[in-house]
Amino acid sequence: MSMQDVFSIAVVIFTVTNIGALGLETNLREALKHLYSVRAIGLVLLWGWVVGPALAFLIIRLMPLAAGHAAGLFLISLAPTAPFFPMLVRRARGDMSFTASFMMLTTVGVVLFLPLLAPRLIEGLQVDSWSLARPLLVLVLCPLLIGVAIGELARNVADKLLPVVQKIGGLFLLIVLVLTLVLYGRDLLDTVGSFAPGAQILFFVAITALSYTIHFGLGQPQRSAMALGMCTRNIAAVFAAFFGITNPPDGMFVMVVLVVPLAAIVAVVAARLFARQAPTS
């Protein structure tokens, strides 16, 4: 078994455990609370799959990115909301019931929209929508639904499983990062002299600021949750989609990996700023 095979297996385990943990900790009743709001659903769709890709398109036109880096930016623009998103919302003193609804919407949205939009947005990508959708269905939607089902049918079991699954997910995240450095370390170093890191930071800062300030009447706790969800990226879903691509351009995967530290840094800073503006009562 080659190092690349080990890496692929680690990515699968990381993806399944992190999305499964998201399902285990989701309170379905809380999640459904805001799903009846046309405004909330409309805003998630607007920021996630209209403004996000449009912003990526604008950045690509303004900055001389390599083809692979541009493809990676488009791919990550289609996958909002990281599994650690609730932790950030708590730090920001945001609305946790809105957060549960938001996560359900964005996770399902990624499975639906990423396979449809990626082949149309990424120039030269020779992949059909089903090739992208299949790993998302198996590695993202199924673990999410199984986790939610366990939580609804056996809450005590879900509470016991959650910390175990989270630890496994965290362990395999570290394994994925180490193997990424081993396999792609030179490529990551090469991005230092490129526009790739700057393009990502610009994307994260812009989508966070826009979704927070243009809120269409949402209260501050909902605005902070919306902005943090749009700032972070579902790296597990992006990994799953990437490995469904048979001809990824050089540099695309490196752009995907850069999301892990850069989005986290921007999101942590944003959460602290939002916490200062949160209502005191």
Per-residue pLDDT at 78 exceeds 70: yes
CA–CA dist 236, 93 (Å, integer): 25
* Whether 230 contacts 78, CB under 8 Å: no
Residue 280: how many other CB atoms lie within 10 Å: 4
SS3 57: helix
Contact 258, 197 (CB under 8 A): yes
* pLDDT number for residue 190: 78
Q: b/e per residue, 14-37, with b = 16+ CB within 10 A?
A: bbbbbbbbbbbbbeeeebeebeee
Q: Decide: 88 and 233 in contact? Cβ < 8 Å.
A: no
Q: What's residue 243's pLDDT?
A: 80
pLDDT tens, position by position, 221-256:
999 999 999 999 988 888 888 888 888 888 898 899
Cβ pair 94, 221 in contact under 8 A? yes
Sign of the dihedral defined by the CA atoms of residues 83, 77, 248, 197, in that order: negative
Average pLDDT (111-128) is: 84
Q: Which residues pair with 80 in a beta bridge?
A: 233
pLDDT for the residue numbered 150: 95
Contact 239, 114 (CB under 8 A): no
Please tell me the distance from the alpha carbon of residue 132 to that of residue 137, in angstroms, as a whole number.
9
Average of per-residue pLDDT values in the chain:
88
Range of the domain at 49: 3-277
- pLDDT for 18-38, tens place per residue? 888 888 888 788 777 777 778
Q: From CA 265, how far away is CA 261, in angstroms rounded?
A: 6
For the chain, the first-to-last Cα distance in angstroms comes to 57
Tell which residue, 11, 230, 244, has the closest CA to residue 119: 244
Q: What residues pair up with 233 in beta bridges, in sequence order?
A: 80
Confidence of residue 40 (pLDDT cuts 50, 70, 90): confident
Instruction: Please tell me the predicted confidence (pLDDT) of residue 281.
Output: 59
At 96-107, the pLDDT tens digits run: 878 878 888 898
Spatial distance between the Cα atoms of 161 and 150, rounded to a whole number of angstroms: 10
pLDDT at 138: 87
Rounded CA gap, 217 and 214, in Å?
A: 9
pLDDT score recorded for residue 56: 97
| pLDDT of res. 162 | 92
Domain CATH number, residue 191: 1.20.1530.20
Express each pLDDT in 178-220 by its tens digit.
888 888 777 777 787 789 999 999 999 999 999 999 988 889 9
Residue 59 predicted with pLDDT over 90? yes
Rg (CA), the chain: 18
Look at the chain and report how many structural domains it folds into: 1
> Which tokens in the block code for residue 184?
């792609």
